């Protein structure tokens, strides 16, 4: 059994890409997208027609609507390949506006519905800001399932669980990037690999908290830099993996053991944690890595959304 198949014994494998023709061979259940991945895809010749067709069919409509229609078009193509769910992201410029995030999420879901896609096959990605979490709470109450993205800290995970979000996506690789950069020449790659990787440790802490306290929100590790980060999280509810890393897992027959287990988590001695707005903002502020990576992630997604808009307007 290769490592990808072994991983699927305990963990739902999710494709992390807009390049849907690349991942079908690995048979993931779900798929995730974001503005950066869609921007990358539409610049490839094989996906350029999707952009052209979407703009042509909705010429004259506001550019933000055309953007959502493009994201949904990719989502529909992906859903024709996978049996599960696709995640589609709300514009990152709305990360600090709960009302606008709710309205945009409802529009995205309505566009999917118009294409015959049932709501249970769509996850709406919302940034894990305080306002994003409040938007997700309202959306979940309306039956719209949310994927909390740009999640780097324990407090973001706890607050998302309190809001009963469907799923969270802690960004393993970006946490790793921050600590590696901060350590500089003192970074010891071998010593900080696997279970010692700071991104892996962050997900383990969140997973243990959720399982210990019976929090139903799913944990999906994301943003991986290497296969070792993935294998160190075997047993996590879901892992969203780029096709290149899925290929590496499929090519390896090295033994794989389960690293995360709900029974082990339930046996831990943990203190309950809750956050109100003031406590959440203070905890996030005190975590330099999470504060910096959240702000940076929002800026990057905004920049790529603007590049996508420029491509739409150019047509």
Look up the CATH number of the domain holding residue 121: 3.20.20.70
% the chain with pLDDT above 90: 97
Q: In this predicted structure, what is the pLDDT of residue 166?
A: 98
DSSP secondary structure letter of residue 18: S
DSSP secondary structure letter of residue 185: G
- Alpha carbon of 258 to those of 6, 129, 191, 229: distances in Å? 9, 32, 21, 13
- Strand, helix or coil for residue 178: helix
At 136, list the tokens.
């997700």
Alpha-carbon distance 52 to 98, whole Å? 32
Q: For residue 212, count other CB atoms closer than 10 A to its CB.
A: 18
Report residue 156's pLDDT band, with 50, 70 and 90 as the boundaries. very high
Report residue 28's pLDDT band, with 50, 70 and 90 as the boundaries. very high
In 3D space, the residue among 267, 284, 22 whose CA is nearest the CA of residue 150 turns out to be: 284
Q: Which of 44, 125, 181, 211 is catalytic?
A: 125
Residue range 142-171: mean pLDDT, rounded = 98
Residue pair 13/231 in contact (Cβ under 8 Å)? The answer is no
307 is catalytic: no
Average pLDDT taken over every residue of the chain? 97
Q: Name the pTM for this structure.
A: 0.96
At 122, list the tokens.
């769509």
Residue pair 292/178 in contact (Cβ under 8 Å)? The answer is yes
Q: In this predicted structure, what is the pLDDT of residue 35?
A: 87
End-to-end Cα separation, the chain, in angstroms: 48
How many independent structural domains does the chain possess? 1
Alpha-carbon distance 196 to 109, whole Å? 39
Alpha-carbon distance 267 to 282, whole Å? 30
Using the predicted structure, report yes or no on whether residue 79 has a pLDDT greater than 90: yes
% the chain with pLDDT above 70: 100
Using the predicted structure, report yes or no on whether residue 38 has a pLDDT greater than 90: yes
pLDDT digits (tens, 9 = 90+) for 174-201: 999 999 999 999 999 999 999 999 999 9
Alpha-carbon distance 146 to 168, whole Å? 8
Q: In this predicted structure, what is the pLDDT of residue 197?
A: 98
Q: In this predicted structure, what is the pLDDT of residue 285?
A: 98
Using the predicted structure, report yes or no on whether residue 102 has a pLDDT greater than 90: yes
Find the angle CA(160)-CA(162)-CA(164) to the nearest 5 degrees. Answer: 70
pLDDT digits (tens, 9 = 90+) for 123-144: 999 999 999 999 999 999 999 9
Q: In this predicted structure, what is the pLDDT of residue 315?
A: 81
What is the span of the domain harbouring residue 137?
3-314
**DSSP for 147-173, written as a single string:** EEEEE-SHHHHHHHHHTT-SEEEEBHH
């Amino acid at each position: 059994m290769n490592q990808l198949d072994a991983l699927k014994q305990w963990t739902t494998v999710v494709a992390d890409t807009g390049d849907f023709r690349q991942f079908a061979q690995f048979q993931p259940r779900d798929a995730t997208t974001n503005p950066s991945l869609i921007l990358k895809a539409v610049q490839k010749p094989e996906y350029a027609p999707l952009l052209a067709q979407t703009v042509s069919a909705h010429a004259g409509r506001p550019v933000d609507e055309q953007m959502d229609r493009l994201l949904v078009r990719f989502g529909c193509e992906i859903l024709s390949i996978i049996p599960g769910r696709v995640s589609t992201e709300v514009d990152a410029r709305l990360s600090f506006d709960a009302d606008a995030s709710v309205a945009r999420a409802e529009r995205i879901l309505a566009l999917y519905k118009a294409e015959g896609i049932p709501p249970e096959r769509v996850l709406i990605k919302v940034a894990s800001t305080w306002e994003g979490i409040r938007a997700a709470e309202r959306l979940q109450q309306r039956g719209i399932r949310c994927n909390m993205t740009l999640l780097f800290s324990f407090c973001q995970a706890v607050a998302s669980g309190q809001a009963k979000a469907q799923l969270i996506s802690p960004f393993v690789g970006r946490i790793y990037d921050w600590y590696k950069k901060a350590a500089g020449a003192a970074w010891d790659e071998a010593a900080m690999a696997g279970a010692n990787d700071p991104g892996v440790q962050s997900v383990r802490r969140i997973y243990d908290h959720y399982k210990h306290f019976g929090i139903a929100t799913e944990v999906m590790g994301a943003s991986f830099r290497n296969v070792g980060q993935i294998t160190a999280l075997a047993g996590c509810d879901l892992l969203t993996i780029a096709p290149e890393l899925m290929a590496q897992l499929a090519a390896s027959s090295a033994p794989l053991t389960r690293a995360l287990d709900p029974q082990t988590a339930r046996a831990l001695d943990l203190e309950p944690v809750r956050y109100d707005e003031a406590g959440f903002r203070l905890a996030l502020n005190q975590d330099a890595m999470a504060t910096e990576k959240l702000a940076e992630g929002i800026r990057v997604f905004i920049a790529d959304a603007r590049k996508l808009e420029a491509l739409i307007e150019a047509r």
